[in-house]
Amino acid sequence: MKIFCVGRNYAEHAKELKNDIPEEPVIFIKPKTALVQNGVPFYYPEFTNELHYEAELVLRVSKNGRHILPKNAFRYFDAVTVGIDFTARDVQAELKKKGLPWEKAKAWDGSAIIGAWQPAEKFDFKQGVRFSMTMNGNTVQQGNSNDMLFNVPEIIANISQYFSLNIGDLIFTGTPAGVGECVVGDVFAGYLETQKVFDLTVK
């Protein structure tokens, strides 16, 4: 299983981190060990003092493919949920200063969680799929797939130019504005449309 992630895919998020708006999808990969398994607690990593949450719409790949055309992209995933791409922001800042890759800040063991899967057929991507996340009962992020800089077909087509998509791979499609720092004891809840798909407490 591979975990593909799209960076800077919402204009307002790129602006809040003072990043340029990308001209093509920014893709990075997390290893399968990045995914927190069901029932396993999420622990604040010891190597960072600035842990940030990033809520994202996540797709589950259901068909093997390469060089996928945008018009065929919806055939290649069968389920949707909301997840968190955790980022060690202080580590990332140091890596970026040195022009180094982000893996230590983005792809460490336990850096991603996902909620309960929902059938993709339940959602109308033409109308836009809404998702949100609360922290300690307050809404901190709200997103709509229609606000993505690169939509789902464009993401899948772009990834598949470089990497084979395999059944069970995950695609984190990018985070909207509202990312921020979290600490031990913070409680998150993720929502796909109006349905809660995960609860998470930072240990």
- The tokens describing 102, both together, are 């982000």
Amino acid 12: pLDDT:
73
Q: In this structure, is the dihedral angle defined by the CA atoms of residues 32, 9, 79 and 198, taken in order, positive or negative?
A: positive
Q: Is the pLDDT of residue 159 over 60?
A: yes
- The tokens describing 157, both together, are 């087509």
Q: Which CATH number fits domain 3-201: 3.40.50.2000, 3.90.850.10, 3.40.50.2300, 3.40.50.300?
A: 3.90.850.10
What is the arithmetic mean of pLDDT over 50-59? 98
Amino acid 13: pLDDT:
60
- The tokens describing 154, both together, are 């464009």
Amino acid 11: pLDDT:
80
Over the stretch 10-44, which tens digit does the pLDDT of each residue have? 987 656 656 677 899 999 999 999 999 888 999 99
What is the arithmetic mean of pLDDT over 134-147? 97
What is the arithmetic mean of pLDDT over 105-117? 97
Amino acid 17: pLDDT:
58
CB–CB of 118/195 below 8 Å? Answer: yes
- The tokens describing 109, both together, are 């063991």
Query: pLDDT confidence of 114, banded at 50, 70, 90?
Result: very high
CB–CB of 152/164 below 8 Å? Answer: no
Which of 7-11, 71-75, 125-129, 136-140 is predicted with the least confidence, judged by mean pLDDT?
7-11
Largest distance between two CA atoms of the chain? 44
Query: Which CA distances in Å does 137 have to 20, 123, 134, 187, 200?
Result: 32, 26, 6, 8, 12
Amino acid 20: pLDDT:
73
| Whole-prediction pTM | 0.95
Amino acid 193: pLDDT:
97
Over the stretch 65-96, which tens digit does the pLDDT of each residue have? 999 999 999 999 999 999 999 999 999 999 99
> Among 8, 149, 4, 113, which residue's Cα sits nearest to residue 65?
4
